[in-house]
Chain A
Amino acid sequence: MPAVTETLETVQSVTDSGYKWGFETEIEMEFAPKGLNEDIVRFISRKKDEPAWLLDWRLKAFAIWKKMEEPTWAAVKYPPIDYQDSYYYAAPVQKAKPKSLDEVDPELLKTYAKLGIPLKEQAILAGVEGAGESPADSGRMPIAVDAVFDSVSVATSYKERLAKDGIIFCSISEAVHEHPELVRQYLGSVVPQGDNFYAALNSAVFTDGSFVYIPKGVRCPMELSTYFRINAKSTGQFERTLIIADERSHVSYLEGCTAPMRDENQLHAAVVELVALDDATIKYSTVQNWYPGDAEGRGGIYNFVTKRGACRGARSKISWTQVETGSAITWKYPSCILQGDDSVGEFYSVAITNNRQQADTGTKMFHIGKNTRSTIVSKGISAGKGQNTYRGLVKISPKAHGARNFTQCDSLLIGDQCGAHTVPYIENRCMTAKVEHEATTSRIAEDQLFYCRQRGLNEEEAVGMIVNGFAREVLKELPMEFAVEAQKLLQISLEGSVG
């Protein structure tokens, strides 16, 4: 018997190539019928007890989506997706509010523990009454967490503490009820329903996500973060996040994503909209660790995401930082619309593709206001049979006098069966604007590996160290608490890529 267990564990550790988040939580779930039609859209809207305007908004999106075609311009290959063969609503069955950790569904608790969410946050997330909302008694810097489990947000922590500063941090479903004026004003104002195929799909069927509003002049006292978790089988996740930073406010927000290991491909089509008014700053960081599929390319998440920020106000700033290690396919281009004069857009990205993973990712910087500035630093790492494409657009309108962009795209290849591609588009229609682009492609040099190994590091540690060095410029942009986690993740993602 022990021998069998041992063998099973060995097999598992070989096949999952280090993906430690591949477990499944057994918990009572409620599903909408499989498939996608107007009734499903109505079902979701009814489940969430939504006002009529939002249902109309969804139905309009659905009508647009039906007429659209899936984009094919990205450098990714996958079999046709059957949009009718998926659940569009899956939620853990809600019980009465638990009184202590003991009453919380232990499976849900285990999930949070495995995701590395500290226990204190776990209690709050699980909705335990009176679980310290005051950050003072925890000793370390608290992090406010929203946890989205399949289709719904299960809990948000530190809400009351944040409310003291007038900050709103809640699920978008809750915001629809509690702050309809804000949601109505901003939803779809950055990414309209018909923006693209996946955004239209998301607009029709989005089920939850996070909502943040930072009032004028407020600096958010803690990191806000959302953990997205796909758990149920044959379920797509369509979350919608909306962050509004009012004048002179400041917020740093982080999202983390994981999913169980399955043979099937699951669709994740999220939309994130950011709005920064005069002198406001939004820092949005992502550690994307969706299940990437196995070494043969079976299973894994299709990550088709639209993220866009509008720097509406003068001197506003939006900074995207992403560490993309997971997903079978990544299709995402976090962008900035630099409307306000002197506004700033930044994009820092590390994308790893190992085994059969494919990533087509980059950014778009639209320079509209005067003296707008953007910085793009992209680090692509390809290993195994991974394919990694940087696709970026820098567009400068005729009125964006004095606009400046600097783009740096570096690719690192590990092994000789992977690929790295750089596709920078530049449309500059302003004489006084300056656009700079630098690109490099390199391999991990044999002498670097040997040097590390001569000092006692094994091959994987050596590669991890060199790759982390390569990605340093981006990693240093992450909030400190997450930089360490991201570094480990880079190393784990490359396990089995050498030797």
Chain B
Amino acid sequence: MLKIENLHAAVDGKPILNGLSLTIAPGEVHAVMGPNGSGKSTLSYVLAGREGYEVTEGSVSFHGQDLLAMEPEERAVAGMFLAFQAPVELPGVGNANFLRTALNAVRRARGEAEMDAMQFLKLARARMKVLNMPEDMLKRPVNVGFSGGEKKRNEMLQLAMLAPKFAVLDETDSGLDIDALKMVADTVNSLRGPDFSALVITHYQRLLNHIVPDRVHVLSAGRIIKSGGPELAQELEASGYAGVQAAA
């Protein structure tokens, strides 16, 4: 369970999140929508513990733990996963090596045995097949020279392999073709269950046709100004944010 209470955060001294509260119960998927610059990526970075994102007020508890007191890697191995809006390139670092190191870090934390190269390859190949990723992407350096869509697929491969308790998807659907969009939805849906929850940040209702959220929230100027069921996304698609913002 993720419980965000009255969260205030600043970047370079500039307040971006201004009293955000949100509770996501195990098994639930929530969507966050909102205009450009409203603070969606900032929220995802604060949850993941990125340096420079200073929490000035409020609290976040994650399965009973004080999330904000943890290092980024501690949050990761505790089951917090962020699919980046702009996945980062790691020149010279093989994708397989990176993914296996990450997987074994997570497995160690869960008290599971580390995976050797053979076991890992078997699992990775199977997952890549589902994601329609060519196998040579395992050998290539992480995200280097990947197309925009390939980078997003690679994020979904990591998500599927690491099987976290909680996933934040920051506009994973942006810039994807229809098939890729379905692949993102399939990845999330396959993880859905009582031990998994997610926060899906998106600008488009069409992703939510495939990942049907339990709740939809509208973020504006660093606060949630409206929440509702899946129908709220359709409403926004039809009439934009202006109406909601005026009413708030």
Q: Which A residues form the contact surface with B (CB < 8 A)?
A: 445-448, 450-459, 461, 465-466, 468-473
Could you tell me if B73 and A465 are in contact, using CB atoms closer than 8 angstroms? no
Q: Which of B77, B89, B92, B158 has the most CB of A within 10 A?
A: B92
A-B contact pairs, 7 of them (CB 8 A): A445-B88, A447-B88, A450-B48, A455-B158, A457-B102, A468-B93, A469-B141
How far apart are the CA atoms of A452 and B73 in the complex, in Å? Answer: 8
Q: Is the CB of A468 within 8 A of B92?
A: yes
Please determine whether A466 and B90 come into contact, CB atoms closer than 8 angstroms: yes
In contact, B82 and A465 (Cβ under 8 angstroms): no
**Complex Cα spacing A451 to B73, Å:** 10
Q: A450 CA to B52 CA in the complex, in Å?
A: 11
Chain A CB within 8 A of B106 CB: yes
- Give the chain A neighbours of B48 by CB distance below 8 A: 450, 454
CA distance A450 to B90 in the complex (A): 12
Most buried by A among B82, B97, B101: B101
Residues of chain B within 8 A of A461, CB atoms compared: 101, 105
B148 within 8 A of A: no
Q: Scan B55-98; emit 1 where CB is below 8 A from any A CB, else 0.
A: 00000000000000001110111000110100111111100011
CB distance from B86 to the nearest CB of A (A): 8
Chain B residues whose CB sits within 8 angstroms of the CB of A445 once the complex forms? 88
* B52 contacts across to A, CB distance below 8 A: 446
B218 close to chain A: CB less than 8 A: no
Cα(A450)–Cα(B73), bound, Å? 9
Q: When A453-B72, A466-B93, A469-B141 are in contact, do A448 and B88 touch as well, CB less than 8 Å? A: yes
Which residues of B sit under 8 angstroms from A472, Cβ to Cβ? Answer: 92-93
Q: Which residues of A contact B141 (CB under 8 A)?
A: 469
B12 at the interface (CB under 8 A from A): no
* B76 partner residues in chain A, CB cutoff 8 A: 453-456
* Known A454-B84, A465-B93, A469-B90; further 13 A-B contacts with Cβ < 8 A: A446-B52, A448-B90, A452-B90, A453-B49, A453-B73, A454-B75, A455-B76, A456-B76, A456-B162, A458-B71, A458-B73, A465-B90, A465-B98
In contact, B91 and A470 (Cβ under 8 angstroms): yes
Query: What 10 A-B pairs have minimum CB-CB distances, sorted nearest first?
Result: A469-B92, A456-B105, A472-B92, A469-B93, A455-B102, A451-B88, A453-B72, A456-B76, A453-B73, A456-B77
Total A-B pairs, Cβ < 8 A: 75
B92: shortest Cβ distance to chain A, in Å? Answer: 3
Q: Do A454 and B82 touch across chains, with their CB atoms under 8 A apart?
A: yes
| From B51, B71, B92, B98, contact of A455 by CB (8 A) | B98
- B143 → A minimal CB distance (Å): 9
Residue of A nearest to B104 (CB): A456
- Alpha-carbon separation in the docked complex, A453 to B102 (Å): 9
Task: Tell me, in angstroms, the Cα distance from A458 to B105 when the chains sit together.
Answer: 9
B126 lies within 8 A of chain A by Cβ: no
Q: Does B226 contact A (CB under 8 A)?
A: no
Known: A465-B90, A469-B91. A450 touches B101 (CB 8 A): no
Task: Report the count of interface residues on B (CB-CB < 8 A).
Answer: 31
User: Which A residue's beta carbon lies closest to that of B78?
Assistant: A456
Q: Answer yes or no: B121 CB below 8 A from chain A CBs.
A: no
Cβ–Cβ contact A473 & B50, under 8 A: no
Contact A450 B105 (CB under 8 A): no
Bound-state CA distance A451–B90 (Å) is 9
Query: Is B11 in the interface zone, CB < 8 Å from A?
Result: no
CB distance from A498 to the nearest CB of B (A): 12
**B109 interface residue, CB < 8 Å from A?**
yes
A458 to B48, CA, bound (A): 14
Bound CA span A398–B76, Å: 60
A473 with B92: CB separation less than 8 A: yes
Taking CB atoms, residues of chain A closer than 8 Å to B73 are 453-454, 456-459
Q: Is the CB of A450 within 8 A of B91?
A: no
Instruction: Quote the shortest CB–CB distance from B98 to chain A (angstroms).
Output: 7
CB of A451 within 8 A of CB of B105, answer no
In angstroms, Cα B48 to Cα A450, docked, is 9
| B162 partner, pick from A446, A451, A452, A455, beta carbons under 8 A | A455
Q: Which residue of B lies closest to A453 (CB)?
A: B72
- Neighbour of A457 across the interface among B50, B88, B105, CB < 8 A: B105
Residue of B nearest to A446 (CB): B51
Q: Quick one: given A451-B87, A469-B141, are A457 and B92 in contact (CB under 8 Å)?
A: no
Q: Contact: B90 with A455, CB < 8 Å?
A: no
A445 and B143 CA atoms in complex are apart in Å by: 15
Closest to A467 in B: B92
CB distance from A5 to the nearest CB of B (A): 28
Once bound together, how far apart are the Cα atoms of A458 and B77, in whole Å?
10
Task: Give the residues in chain A near B90, CB-CB below 8 Å.
Answer: 448, 451-452, 465-466, 469
Report the separation of the CA atoms of residues A451 and B93 in the bound assembly, to the nearest whole angstrom: 13
B contact residues around A452 at 8 Å (CB): 90, 98
* Cα of A327 to Cα of B49 in the assembled complex, Å: 37
Of residues A456, A472, A473, which shows the largest number of chain B Cβ atoms within 10 Å of its Cβ? A456
What's the minimum C-beta distance from B100 to chain A, rounded to whole angstroms?
11
A256 to B162 alpha-carbon distance, docked (Å)? 38
A450 pairs with B98, CB closer than 8 A: no
Task: State which of B84, B92, B101, B109 has its C-beta within 8 Å of the C-beta of A471.
Answer: B92
Q: Is there contact, CB below 8 Å, between A453 and B92?
A: no
A325 smallest CB distance to B (angstroms):
18
> Which residues of chain A are near B105, meaning CB under 8 Å?
455-458, 461
Bound CA–CA A456/B90 (angstroms): 15
Selected contact of A450 from candidates B50, B92, B106, B109, CB within 8 Å = B50
* A458 / chain B contacts, CB cutoff of 8 Å: 71, 73, 105
> Closest chain B residue to A447 by CB distance?
B88
A457 to B: closest C-beta gap in Å: 6
Bound complex: CA A459 to CA B72 (Å): 9
With a cutoff of 8 Å between Cβ atoms, the chain A residues found around residue B77 in the complex are 456
Name the A residues within 8 Å of B50 (CB-CB): 450
- Bound together, the chains give a CA A470 to CA B90 distance in angstroms of 9
Q: How far is the CB of B158 from chain A (nearest CB, A)?
A: 7
Which single residue of chain A is at the shortest CB-CB distance from B48? A454
Report the separation of the CA atoms of residues A456 and B78 in the bound assembly, to the nearest whole angstrom: 9
> Of all chain B residues, which has the CB nearest A464?
B101
- Chain B residues with Cβ below 8 Å from A457 are 73, 101-102, 105
Query: Bound complex: CA of A448 vs CA of B51, how far in Å?
Result: 12
Contact present for B93 and A450 (CB under 8 Å):
no
Q: In the assembly, what is the distance between CA of A469 and CA of B95, in Å?
A: 11
CB distance from A488 to the nearest CB of B (A): 13
Q: Which residues of B contact A456 (CB under 8 A)?
A: 73, 76-77, 102, 105-106, 109, 162
Please give me the residue from chain B that is nearest to A451 by CB atom: B88
Q: How far is the CB of A343 from chain B (nearest CB, A)?
A: 29
Cα distance, A452 to B48, chains bound together (Å)? 12
Q: In the complex, which residues of chain A have a beta carbon less than 8 angstroms from the beta carbon of B71?
A: 453, 458
Tell me which residues across on chain B come within 8 A of A446, comparing CB atoms.
Answer: 51-52
For A471, the chain B residues whose CB sits under 8 A away are 92
